[in-house]
Amino acid sequence: MLALLGRLIAEEPASLASIATLLAAETGAECCSIHLQRADGRLELAASEGPCPQILESPTPPPLAAGSLHLPVRRAGRLVGALVLRRPGGASFTTEEHEAIGLAAVLVAPNLAAAVARPPEPATFTTPEAARRFSGRTLVPGLVIGPAVLPGLPAPQRLTADDPEAELARLHRAVAAMRREIDALIAAGPEASRKGAGVVRDVLEAYRLIAADPAWLRRVCEMIHTGLSAEAAVHRVAGELRERMRRIPDAYLRERTADIEDLSGRLLAALDEAAGASPVEPTPGAILLARRLGPAELLTWHARGLAGLVVEEASSTSHAAIVARALGIPTISGVHGLIEAAEPGDEIVLDAAEGGPRGDGSLAQAVLRPSPEQRRIYSQALEAARQRLASLATLQDRPATSRDGVAVRLMLNIGLPLELAQLDATGAEGIGLFRTEIAMMARGAVAEVAEQAAIYSQVLEVAGARPVQFRTLDLGGDKLLADNDAPTETNPAMGWRSLRVGLDRPSLMRRQLRALLLAAAGRELSVMFPMVATIAEFRAARALLLAEAERVRPMPARLRVGTMLEVPALMWQIDALLAETDFVSIGTNDLMQFLYAADRTNPAIASRYDLLAPAMLGLIADVAARARAAGVPLSVCGEAAGRPIEALTLVGLGVTSLSMPAPAVLPLKAALGALDVAEFGTFLRGLCRNQNGASSLRTDITIWLQERNVCG
């Protein structure tokens, strides 16, 4: 809601009717009314989605029915209006929803203030339209509008066959054609997709291993021998494998369900093609709706002009998600019911937002058959986003400096060589976090030393004089590989993962450290260890690195060894740690979930705790002060560093190095240019001193930034 509302009003004042329509749709309210504060003190209805009273007698909340919410809207401390929302059936608003609507009121305040200054106009009313919204999680951010495409495995028309040998021959020809197609995709990858070539090749190589596995094809042959046609046998085995794999506890192996279905679909297509069938070509700009999706199938759709993807069953580590990120295809997952409700060609708005107010991804959604008014709103938001992107491009070569002259180093979080082009595109000063496990996940296994060294060498070569901080393999938890023998754990995020895996499997860690040292080839090398909980763990990991450095020639021109600050226990060892480390990087994602004992992958509590809470702000301010006193560089590389309000707050607390996804760099440069860091820092210190047990300071911080036109 907040991301879309911000895009809607970013370039020019949006109509109050549009805002009312958007707020009602986003909150599930049957009525949303916007009221203006007139000179006589009354609140006059200016726009409404659904029937609402014309006048509220006072700015104080009137007696409201169950399921209603009344919020005053202020601009620079002055009351300018109110929002009133009502849900059907008396359904109440949660605390998180109440806070999000409160932030929406902050965004709407300038529009209401402008409307108050104008003479009264006739109120504008709209009625609900037959549009449906489906919520999900963002895998790749973006906003697109297009027609729906619904692929799937069609039921075979011919179930039985009298000649098994003839069916087996058809199957073998289809298998050969499928494998040739996969080989062609791999060979053509760099040319077919100038961006994403490296990751596409890695993923398809892992995918080809599944295609070459004789086990599932053997089962198809067995089904043919029972009298089934080749198509029916493939369809039957695909269904069996799908049900069996969905029950597997291992998240990585479950994700391979989509690969099996992709291969089955290719086999069926090859069999149909032999019978003279021709595939249906989608309209360019289409949005693909799928329950599961394999990487090769996604590439095929991308070549046909695919603009967006909605997939029911996928995580950020699935092959389809990795390829979608590489190709820049806006993607959301966890959307249930859309496939049943949609028909081919139905218009869909795919709003894959960067994340909710706390970055939990809760704003991702698909709007099926949007009303004319909704389509106009989204089209306006899309055009505003394009214009803003063009405007931000002018900041590419400018330094990231605040209004009062504070220089801030903005760097990138990346995990694949193909993302290196973003260094020049954004003007980022380097790579603050290179996630070495992402390339390994793309290929499905930890590569040997030479292959790893080639990846790291390419990164250093492209970066040139710009710094690169390599994080060692952060495996375990929700990031498992097929060759990872991780134990089954009740809470894997707090179990055998990350540095703990490396220290318990030193041969695995030594291979990676040796590859990093070989890649440096006499250049500067910065290595940081994740999930460090004790100084002893940091020392053990550093000792492995230094031992490998003695065996590699030439040695790096300079070897910097750092650590992630993600485990709260390090806070009670911070001074001793700073005496031994060359740099520290705060990982807000894990630090938040460990500090509050709140699993960030659990939607029931993922957004319950806020980075802009007194506890987190105090912790970060303390670390920044201690690092500054010790002369140790400090950065923040968690997701929060890429969200404007959080990022500016980090700068106000004294953090002057931030690492983030590429799309966040230029907007943050623009926001920094409008910020007086000294004034903001004074405000934050006073706010933290007088927080009075507040669970979050987000609203106060947002209002302060909004009133100074820093963040909007």
Q: Are 131 and 374 in contact (CB under 8 A)?
A: yes
Buried b (16+ CB within 10 A) or exposed e, 171-188: beebbebbbebbeebbee
The two tokens of residue 592 are: 């938040």
The two tokens of residue 673 are: 């240019």
The two tokens of residue 80 are: 């300018």
Q: Is 637 a catalytic residue?
A: yes
3-state secondary structure of 41: coil
| Strand pairing report for 142-149 and 347-352 | antiparallel
Which ranges of 118-157 does DSSP label H, i.e. alpha helix?
A: none
The two tokens of residue 227 are: 């009298």
CA angle 422, 424, 427 (to 5 degrees): 95
In 353-408, DSSP assigns E strands to 365-368
80: Cβ–Cβ under 8 A, 6 or more apart, which residues? 36, 37, 73, 74, 109, 112, 113, 116
Phi then psi for residue 431, to 5 deg, are -115, 110
Phi then psi for residue 637, to 5 deg, are -125, 5
Q: For the chain, how far is it from start to end, CA to CA, in angstroms?
A: 14
3-state secondary structure of 332: strand
Q: Is 35 a catalytic residue?
A: no
Nearest to 38 by CA among 84, 85, 80: 80
Nearest to 174 by CA among 254, 231, 251, 232: 231
Measure the CA–CA gap between 79 and 57, rounded to whole angstroms: 15
565: Cβ–Cβ under 8 A, 6 or more apart, which residues? 532, 571, 584, 585, 586, 587, 591, 623
The two tokens of residue 411 are: 């760097």
Kindly tell me the number of DSSP H helices and DSSP E strands found in the chain.
26, 22
Q: Cis bond leading into 603, ω under 30°?
A: no
How crowded is residue 37: how many other Cβ atoms within 10 Å of its Cβ?
Answer: 23
The residue assigned the tokens 């970066």 is: 463
Set 31, 32, 637, 711: catalytic member: 637
Set 31, 52, 319, 711: catalytic member: 319
Phi then psi for residue 83, to 5 deg, are -110, 135
Measure the CA–CA gap between 262 and 284, rounded to whole angstroms: 21
| Strand pairing report for 142-149 and 78-86 | unpaired
Q: Are 44 and 82 in contact (CB under 8 A)?
A: no
How crowded is residue 402: how many other Cβ atoms within 10 Å of its Cβ?
Answer: 22
Q: Which amino acid is at 397?
A: D
Nearest to 153 by CA among 241, 88, 92: 241
At 673, which helix (H) or strand (E)?
helix 665-673
Measure the CA–CA gap between 426 and 397, rounded to whole angstroms: 8
Q: Which class for 32: exposed (0-12), middle (13-18), buried (19 or more C-beta within 10 A)?
A: buried
Phi then psi for residue 22, to 5 deg, are -65, -45
Handedness of CA 17, 20, 22, 25 (dihedral sign): negative
Report the catalytic residues. Answer: 319, 637
